[in-house]
Homo-oligomer: A and B are copies of this chain.
């Protein structure tokens, strides 16, 4: 494709996206396609020849769009927000258009230096001290793996330079987290080679936050048995209920054993853009690494995970590669981001943040954060005041976790046995989700299903939360009536 062909097709695509974004609130939230339906819209063999942009956009309209769950929809309250602000879409387009290659500083000095600048801006905007140095990873899962790899090497005094993890058989390193930690934590611990036997699930308090006394006891027991407390993953805003592990107390407990503290603030990092939320990660300055995802609530499009460390030298020592074909006259003077993470090649991802920050501005993000926190408080109040409804976890952020106990079935509310309650919960949430009117994520807490209402889509205003609350009550009432009639029949 020549630049002139690109110009014509590009204008067409920009209009298509603008129209798509303008209209998406009119369609369902959850994709309506069944398994294999999208794939069936494509030939099984690679097509010969070419099509023009209009034909391709027609294919998108007919086959692809119906298969997209609309996480940009104002009635999307599922998982966590995954905002894709249009300013950051432009930044991503600029990155692709530049066609820049990040394999060394020399291959694109601008790619490296803008990433340094923007990561430092984001550090300042979240109130972190200048002891931290940042980079962009694809996701918090990868950042967690990087954290555990560097923790492993610190605990084993760089066993990778010798016999690796098999050498650590006599004093295996151990990782600590809670049952509320993101699934990527367990995955990272297993992939980093620690083994399931060396992953401790530490107890929680009533707010689903890590109990630092339980952590200290677990570490002491391991140390006494000759194992090495190597790393603690502190969740700052858990996926289930946005619980906040107490970072300061965790840092203190970890320090006794020299264990690495990684703060996973994937969702809640965005809240740190507003000073009044920063108490939620008090003690973060004592951690060794921090990650959070602008591609969630803040809305700098996927894949934009910020990863900050205090000891860059250690990170580089664990991750470094320096083959002759990447040697440069500038080695030693410049940052080589290839040695700050897993992949060698990188995109010019900082442009997504740059465009977002410059075209929309940080104040617009802060306004949204405060709006969403306010909407969550409002919803929590409604739920709290409504008969039969229960808030099942504290609401420190923008996610409200609820259960509904149908009145008249199995006694006056709350009297259902657990399995019937589970069926009821899944019945009403499935009805909401299947209708396409809104999307909510069911999740298990204390062994029973509950429903997470995660507020924070860019276009979600109070009116949408109000509409959701009405919809939830209707669905719960209908499902409850079903239980009552089956109990009576």
Contact = CB atoms under 8 A, between A and B. Distances in A.
Interface centre among A1, A141, A347 (most CB of B within 10 A): A1
Interface string A283-320: 00000000000010000011100000000000000111
A224 B35 CA distance: 50
B162 A165 contact: no
Contacts of A78: 107
Contacts of A418: none
A378 interface: no
Given A94-B17, A195-B159, A196-B160, A31 B87 contact: no
Contacts of A318: 191
A420 interface: no
A5 interface: yes
Given A106-B69, A169-B166, A97 B13 contact: yes
Nearest to A441: B325
Contact of A21 (B3, B161, B173): B3
B79 A360 contact: no
A463 interface: no
Given A56-B358, A193-B160, A303-B343, A9 B46 contact: no
Complex copy number for this chain: 2
A411 interface: no
B141 A196 contact: no
Contacts of A98: 17, 20, 64-65, 68
B166 A198 contact: yes
Interface residues of A, number: 164
Interface stretch (A110-118, A250-258, A466-474): A110-118
B90 A53 contact: yes
Contacts of A10: 14, 17-18, 90, 93
A85 interface: yes
Interface in A90-124: 90, 92-94, 96-101, 103, 105-111, 113-114, 116-117, 120-122, 124
B172 A193 contact: no
Contacts of A20: 97-98
Interface stretch (A182-190, A207-215, A368-376, A383-391): A182-190
- Which 7 pairs, one residue from A and one from B, show the smallest C-beta to C-beta distance? A164-B195, A84-B99, A67-B110, A169-B169, A165-B165, A17-B97, A193-B193
8 contacts: A1-B85, A4-B22, A13-B94, A44-B117, A67-B110, A68-B109, A164-B190, A324-B442
